[in-house]
Amino acid sequence: MTMELRHLRAFLAIAEEGTITRAAARLHIGQPALSRTLRQLEGHLGVRLVDRSTHHLELTAAGRRFGDKAAAALAAVETAFDPNSLAALPLRLGHPWAALGDLTVPLLRRWDAEYPEVPLELRRVDDRTAGLTRGKVDAALLRGEVTAPGLVTELLLEEERVAVVPADSSLAERGSLTLADLTEWPIALNTVAGTTTLDLWPAAVRPTTTIEVVNTDEWLTAIAVGRAVGISTTATPRLHTHPTIAYRPLTDAPPVPLFLAWRRGTPAHPALPQLLRLAREVATAPSP
């Protein structure tokens, strides 16, 4: 059977999402069709790419090696067919939410001052790698564990977590909160690009109700109207203020790492080294 781009897209979606169910929803196809596509790819390569022995799918060693190649190949194809690729090349910086927090504007201003000949485009893309594995951006600001194959990451900083609660709730009356304080409320979970899962709580105090959303706007709305509470990082209150939402320090949750990521094995944008240098400098500069 002839292999097609859909086989690469199917494998990368499975690798990034960790389950056939979420990958099928992302690709807008049925689960049986996606499973068949994976079997076709494995049959063509003659190796098992995905270990299906657990509820959460894991890549085999061969799968991890193939993932790097598949991500590079698909990104190269996306770039080749991009009608803008024949014009002046902007540097596309993706993010699924919050970008670089309150350091976003300083980064963009410094870039414009130092490299005015290269446009730096900030793009919000609602998926786990902010469009990086699909060739939609040249680099991305990603929070939490980065497991997508074919990516190189550099840690820029770590952000403390905050509880996000309705402003008229009793939780907003407190100066700080703990994970246990939130368990009686439904928890809003961004299943596409969020860093919060129920594994954040100890098993003895784990919430029993969740509301799943697919982007930051839906997440904020669920909290603002009082349907749920959420957990984010200190980047969010600096970018999203609203009279019906309150942010409180969360004292017993670990910080969230923020990475700059780019693709391995494909020609990088020529200005990527400059972006990496500026991002490091902005992230480590003393607070004013």
Burial 34-66 (b: 16+ CB within 10 A, else e): bbebbebbbeeeeeebbeeeeeebebeeebeeb
Band the pLDDT of 84: cuts 50, 70, 90: low
CATH superfamily of 90-158+257-284: Periplasmic binding protein-like II (3.40.190.10)
pTM: 0.73
For 76-84, the CB contacts below 8 A with 24+ separation are 76/135, 76/266, 76/267, 77/5, 77/135, 78/134, 78/135, 78/136, 79/135, 79/266, 82/135
Domain edges within the chain: 5-80, 90-158+257-284, 161-254
Mean pLDDT score, 93-98:
96
Does 3.40.190.10 match the CATH number of domain 161-254?
Answer: yes
Band the pLDDT of 73: cuts 50, 70, 90: confident
Q: Where does 5-80 sit in CATH, by number?
A: 1.10.10.10
- Per-residue pLDDT reduced to its tens digit, 173-196: 999 999 999 999 999 999 998 999
